[in-house]
Amino acid sequence: MTTIEVDENEYGSWTVLRVRGEMDLVTSPGIRRRVHDAVAGGRHDLVIDLSAVRFCDSSGVGVLIAARRLLRSCGGRLRLILPEDRDGHVGHVGHVGRVLAALGVRRLFEVYEDVPGALTATAGTEEPAGPAELADVALPRQQVTDRIAP
């Protein structure tokens, strides 16, 4: 059975969503809803901590790209936590980072090693790709549903 847990905390102007479990076709709509709820509540600076995500498919990637677009459209900021591989391999990224890199979309995001780093960082020296570059990214088609459990 696919499971996902999302904890939400606020740190000043930043809202941190800590995601644990698997981001797939079944759980991605719940994550999308949490992002939309945060934005609807006026929170436009969002950190999504993916350090405890053990699996991510194209629907999970689609949620991250949609979150980026939503936050950019309202003048907000999105930062992702993608730590190095838990096995301590230097230069290797965790599962979600590998998936984003394999699909060629990792460069679209501001990526940090941990939450404190993301919260205290000033604007990055390198701006993530803009809308023109995003137009070349093939987004997965997905059906949005309110059901989280099968």
Shortest CA distance to 31 belongs to which of 6, 2, 11?
A: 6
* Unique residue bearing structure tokens 């991250």: 64
Q: Give pLDDT, residue 95.
A: 83
Q: Give pLDDT, residue 122.
A: 77
In the predicted structure, residue 139 carries a pLDDT above the cut 60? no
Kindly give the residue spans of alpha helices, DSSP state H, lying in 5-94.
Answer: 28-40, 58-73
Q: Between 69 and 101, whose confidence is greater?
A: 69
**Structure confidence by residue, pLDDT tens digits, 74-120:** 999 999 999 765 555 434 467 888 899 899 899 999 999 999 999 99
Residue type, 50: L
Residues 6+ apart with CB under 8 A from 45: 13, 14, 15, 76, 77
Let me know: does 105 contact 138? Beta carbons within 8 Å: no
In the predicted structure, residue 123 carries a pLDDT above the cut 70? no
**Structure confidence by residue, pLDDT tens digits, 9-58:** 999 999 999 999 999 999 999 999 999 999 999 999 999 999 999 999 99
